[in-house]
Chains A and B, each alone.
Chain A
Amino acid sequence: MTGDAFLAGVIGVLFAAGVYLMVSRNLIRVLLGFLLVGHGTNLLLLAAGTWGAAPIVGESGGPAGEADPLPQAFVLTSIVITLAVCCFLLAMVFRSYQLTRRAELQTDPEDVLVEAGPGGAE
């Protein structure tokens, strides 16, 4: 039970820190934030299952004491997806740094035009 409470605390901190970083305009911070929230979600998935012995037929003492294998399969899938998307995001950050020499996300020029009113938009 203490394990669960500890895990819940860790997940909460990961989510909070990750969301805090993700609302930044700095893309590196966004990337780090995404990784933190991603890890938080993976832990949440893990916590969804029961703990126990390795669920291998014949090696553990029956289904009662075994860990639930399904969330672990979820987590594996999720880790792979997170990795792939993280690579893509890194590539995008690098590309936009190449183009703009800035790590911050720029404002949409069309938004600025619309904001300027009909004189600017028309």
Chain B
Amino acid sequence: MTALLPVSVMLPLLGAGLTLVARRAAGVQRVISVLALAVQLVTECAMLIGIDASGPIVMHLGGWAAPVGIALVADRFAAILMVVSTVVTLGVLVYAISQETAGHPGWFGRGSSAPAFHPAMLIMATGVSNAFVAGDLFNLFVSFEILLTASYVLLTVGGTAERMRAGTSYLVVSLLSSLIFLAAIALVYSATGTVNLADLAGRLADLPRGLVSVLQALLLVAFGIKAAVWPMSAWLPDSYPNAPAPVTAVFAGLLTKVGIYAIIRVQTLLFGGQGFVTLLMWAALATMLVGILGAVAQGDIKRMLSFTLVSHIGYLLFGVAIGGHAGLAATVYYVVHHILVQTALFLAAGLIEQLAGTTSVSRLGGLATRAPLLAVLFFIPAMNLGGVPPLSGFLGKIGLFQAGLAAGGALPAVVVAAGTVTSLLTLYAIVRIWGRAFWRPAPQDGDAEEAPDAAPGAGGDGDTAPAANGDAMPAAVPAVGGDGIAAATPRRAAGGGPAPAPVASRVRLPGGMLAATAAVVLVGVALTAAAGPLYGLAGRAADDLGHPARYVTAVLGQP
């Protein structure tokens, strides 16, 4: 069982190396990356079952015992997140491969392919897995760097002007958070002489309270930036929507949740759920409300989804702040729900882009008749996100609200009220978008159907993106709508001339993209169907989190 632990980290890394070697053979790259993630998923499922049966597993790398060497540790919480993150990554990878083979010129900017995509994706999977099993702070920092460096590449794939602009701000914000984290590690080490999480859990208790508060504040700020907690969340809706759809989907699912994982881990293990609880509550409240008010104002589906992503980080933070068994169990369940539902929504948004060539609601319409299946695939996770019973979003929120009210006090009650408002506003924002994009008649019939004269430079390619002032310049509409149409009629568009696309044709979406989206949506629905056992598992994971002694004993041996 212990031997599986490094395998789940090594496999994607090995796959990344192999895909780099095979950079000229796109087919080989695809086979390698799907295989690597599929095998990783199997090992992680085996690990989850084993850990759930017999407690945390630990591997001391190189045979050096814990406080000296580097330890990899997986408890129930880490194992759950590893399984879910690999499910999501695998789904997104299949989606991306299908989109790649279907021919989507705007996807990579000017080039027709991006050999860096598969290695970067696998390296990101490595970083995410490594972050979940990191047993010491410095290893956690290295994992963050692994996944961030891969994410820089993924976010700027194609190198268009718009992606460069968005990528730069993302890069600078990430760098800043990494440096804060590193400075925190330096201070933690000089205060305690160790960076091993299990060792720290004991030693921090002996330090003066003021010093502990400083260390905790630094760590929370560093992770808060990564998790997009208000007021450190502005970078997210700016950078995510500009990436290719599969990249946005996997980022939305995983990256912020790694930050949340780190917050939960240090809050429960190192600081025993104490300190900054009130501040976390306020941050949760502000994250929810500011995020969702931003979402309501957006006219673009991907941007709207990015704002809801920020907003729902607030629920997770609220769960961490409540702490205790009930709060943590609900948080664990909600993290899983949130990873799946956000990824599904961004994948569906990518399908809309593939179909209509834009995600701006002002230029969308009538999609329900053109792609009824897509309407369903968008609707289910949308309702799930909004917290409509009986879906998992509802169950997670109910769990959080119950825990919040049980904790007592005025502030948790206020946050619960804000959470309810946020939930309703989410429903409003998302139903408004859904209604406009799918149900109202297509705007200016046929207008969006005209193929642009220079398809390869349009759409997802940021060069023409600033021309998005649709009302003032109707001529800009087909230009932005370009790459979806180009996908629909690749031969004509590639010819370069203005090619009239067949009006109101039923564009066939690539089967692989639909299947991958449907799979992620269905796993999200399965969270509801299997809510009983899953909540039980989440409860046991929360129990582990609530008893840091188990983690410490597993790593350091019997005291």
Instruction: Give, as a whole number of angstroms, the nearest-CB distance from B294 to chain A.
Output: 9
Q: Kindly supply a per-residue 1/0 record for chain B positions 225-260, scoring 1 wherever the CB is within 8 Å of any chain A CB and 0 otherwise.
A: 000000000000010010000000000000000000
Q: When chains A and B are docked, how far (Å) is the Cα of A78 from the Cα of B172? A: 17
Closest B residue, CB atoms, query A120? B469
Given known contacts A48-B190, A84-B149, A92 and B299 CB-to-CB distance under 8 angstroms? no
Chain B residues in 8 Å Cβ range of A121: 297-299, 362
Interface: A111 (CB within 8 A): yes
Inter-subunit contact B175/A106 (CB<8 Å): no
A to B contact number (C-beta, < 8 Å): 105
Q: When chains A and B are docked, how far (Å) is the Cα of A22 from the Cα of B165? A: 16
Interface: B169 (CB within 8 A): yes
Given known contacts A48-B187, A77-B142, A37 and B179 CB-to-CB distance under 8 angstroms? yes
Inter-subunit contact B149/A48 (CB<8 Å): no
Inter-subunit contact B298/A106 (CB<8 Å): no
Interface-central residue, B160, B190, B238, B463, by most chain A CB under 10 Å:
B190
Interface: B171 (CB within 8 A): yes
Inter-subunit contact B168/A92 (CB<8 Å): yes
Q: When chains A and B are docked, how far (Å) is the Cα of A95 from the Cα of B165? A: 10
Interface: B156 (CB within 8 A): yes
Q: When chains A and B are docked, how far (Å) is the Cα of A99 from the Cα of B256? A: 30
Chain B residues in 8 Å Cβ range of A95: 156, 159, 164
Interface: A47 (CB within 8 A): yes
Chain B residues in 8 Å Cβ range of A74: 138, 185-186, 189
Name the one of A38, A92, A111, A113 contacting B167, with C-beta atoms under 8 angstroms.
Answer: A92
Q: Kindly supply a per-residue 1/0 record for chain A positions 26-70, scoring 1 wherever the CB is within 8 Å of any chain B CB and 0 otherwise.
A: 010010001001100100110111000000000000000000001
Q: Kindly supply a per-residue 1/0 record for chain B positions 42-78, scoring 1 wherever the CB is within 8 Å of any chain A CB and 0 otherwise.
A: 0000000000000000000000000000000000000
Q: When chains A and B are docked, how far (Å) is the Cα of A48 from the Cα of B191? A: 8
Inter-subunit contact B468/A100 (CB<8 Å): no
Q: When chains A and B are docked, how far (Å) is the Cα of A34 from the Cα of B346? A: 32
Closest B residue, CB atoms, query A86? B175
Q: When chains A and B are docked, how far (Å) is the Cα of A100 from the Cα of B161? A: 7
Inter-subunit contact A114/B299 (CB<8 Å): yes
Given known contacts A22-B172, A30-B172, A84-B149, A47 and B186 CB-to-CB distance under 8 angstroms? yes
Q: Kindly supply a per-residue 1/0 record for chain A positions 106-122, scoring 1 wherever the CB is within 8 Å of any chain B CB and 0 otherwise.
A: 10111101100001111
Q: When chains A and B are docked, how far (Å) is the Cα of A119 from the Cα of B471? A: 8
Name the one of B171, B182, B468 contacting A88, with C-beta atoms under 8 angstroms.
Answer: B171
Interface: A16 (CB within 8 A): no
Inter-subunit contact A110/B164 (CB<8 Å): no
Interface: B312 (CB within 8 A): no
Chain B residues in 8 Å Cβ range of A84: 149
Interface of A, secondary structure class, is helix
Q: When chains A and B are docked, how far (Å) is the Cα of A122 from the Cα of B453? A: 25
Q: When chains A and B are docked, how far (Å) is the Cα of A89 from the Cα of B468? A: 28
Name the one of A22, A108, A113 contacting B299, with C-beta atoms under 8 angstroms.
Answer: A113
Inter-subunit contact B161/A44 (CB<8 Å): no
Instruction: Give, as a whole number of angstroms, the nearest-CB distance from A113 to chain B.
Output: 6
Interface: B465 (CB within 8 A): yes
Given known contacts A108-B165, A109-B466, A119-B471, A114 and B297 CB-to-CB distance under 8 angstroms? yes
Q: When chains A and B are docked, how far (Å) is the Cα of A89 from the Cα of B149? A: 11
Interface: A13 (CB within 8 A): no
Chain A residues in 8 Å Cβ range of B182: 41, 45, 78
Chain B residues in 8 Å Cβ range of A70: 189, 195
Inter-subunit contact A106/B241 (CB<8 Å): no
Chain A residues in 8 Å Cβ range of B298: 114, 121
Interface: A81 (CB within 8 A): yes
Inter-subunit contact B165/A105 (CB<8 Å): yes
Instruction: Give, as a whole number of angstroms, the nearest-CB distance from A22 to chain B.
Output: 7
Chain B residues in 8 Å Cβ range of A93: 168
Inter-subunit contact B471/A99 (CB<8 Å): no
Chain A residues in 8 Å Cβ range of B179: 34, 37-38, 41
Q: When chains A and B are docked, how far (Å) is the Cα of A65 from the Cα of B369? A: 78
Q: When chains A and B are docked, how far (Å) is the Cα of A105 from the Cα of B175? A: 16
Q: When chains A and B are docked, how far (Å) is the Cα of A41 from the Cα of B141? A: 13
Given known contacts A41-B179, A88-B152, A27 and B168 CB-to-CB distance under 8 angstroms? yes
Inter-subunit contact B161/A96 (CB<8 Å): yes
| 9 pairs of A and B residues whose beta carbons are closest in the complex | A48-B190, A121-B299, A96-B164, A99-B161, A44-B186, A45-B186, A109-B466, A48-B189, A48-B186
Binding site for B on A (CB under 8 A): 22, 27, 30, 34, 37-38, 41, 44-45, 47-49, 70-71, 74, 77-78, 81, 84-85, 88-89, 92-93, 95-96, 99-100, 105-106, 108-111, 113-114, 119-122
Binding site for A on B (CB under 8 A): 138, 142, 145, 149, 152-153, 156, 159-162, 164-169, 171-172, 175-176, 179, 182-183, 185-187, 189-190, 195, 238, 241, 297-300, 303, 361-362, 463, 465-466, 468-469, 471
Seed contacts A71-B189, A105-B165, A122-B362; 6 additional CB < 8 Å A-B pairs: A47-B190, A74-B185, A77-B138, A81-B145, A95-B159, A113-B299
